[in-house]
Amino acid sequence: MKKTNSMERYCKGISMAPTLMPGERFVFVPVVFGSIVRGDILLFRPSEKDREIVHRAVSFEASGIRTCGDNPNNQIDSFVLTSEEIIGRVTGVYRENRFHEFARGKKGLLWHYWVRFLSRGLAPVRKILGPVYRQTSKVLYLGHLLPSKYRPIILRIQRGSRSSWMIASASKVVGRRFEPNQPWSISFPYSLFIRKSALEDLDRKRS
């Protein structure tokens, strides 16, 4: 449940994927340093970085807290967090207009290691099948096989002067693009069910 003293930010990077994705609105609350446990997701601004970061607390040292992103490509951060650098504890994220609370403590830490293990375990399979899938999705369209309510549609999201786009299938977000010049990020296997001509038409209208 969202707490009354909570605050919000928008995720800007992929270091916490798939737990937290770019563009998603997350919630955080003030936190007492002594109440933080391994597995908590923290929002902080380390002294050696000129930006805010969201990563998970994975270990404690005499000088502070070690953190790491859930993204399997991440290594444990080189810095050690002190209490002055921590802004709050991230409690959850809004997805499809619903608030989803994040696991913390042991459950959060278990999720962190499971995501990393699963990704690395499937890496050999993705290395073999990935190029086949990408090439096939460029030329093959299977959207007509889906019931009409599940066929992906492109939506434009306007926040002030900034626009972003998402692809939705029923009530599920399956693709995103946050900047006009960035490539689309589309979940597997939805590239097979999206008309490439529609994405190309969108690019032509913006050019």
Q: Give pLDDT tens digits for 182-201.
A: 778 887 778 888 877 777 77
Q: Give pLDDT, residue 1.
A: 44
Question: What architecture is domain 7-110?
Answer: Ribbon (2.10)
Contact 123, 58 (CB under 8 A): no
For the chain, first and last CA: distance in Å?
43
Omega before residue 183 within 30° of 0, cis? no
> What pTM value is reported for the model?
0.63
Regions of the chain with pLDDT less than 70: 1-4, 119-130, 133, 171, 180, 202-207
pLDDT tens-digit readout, 97-132? 789 999 999 999 999 988 887 766 665 666 666 677
From 142, 154, 136, select the one nearest 199 (Cα to Cα). 154
| Gyration radius of the chain over CA positions | 19
How much of the chain exceeds pLDDT 90, in percent? Answer: 38
Which residue type sits at 96? E
Q: Give pLDDT, residue 165.
A: 82
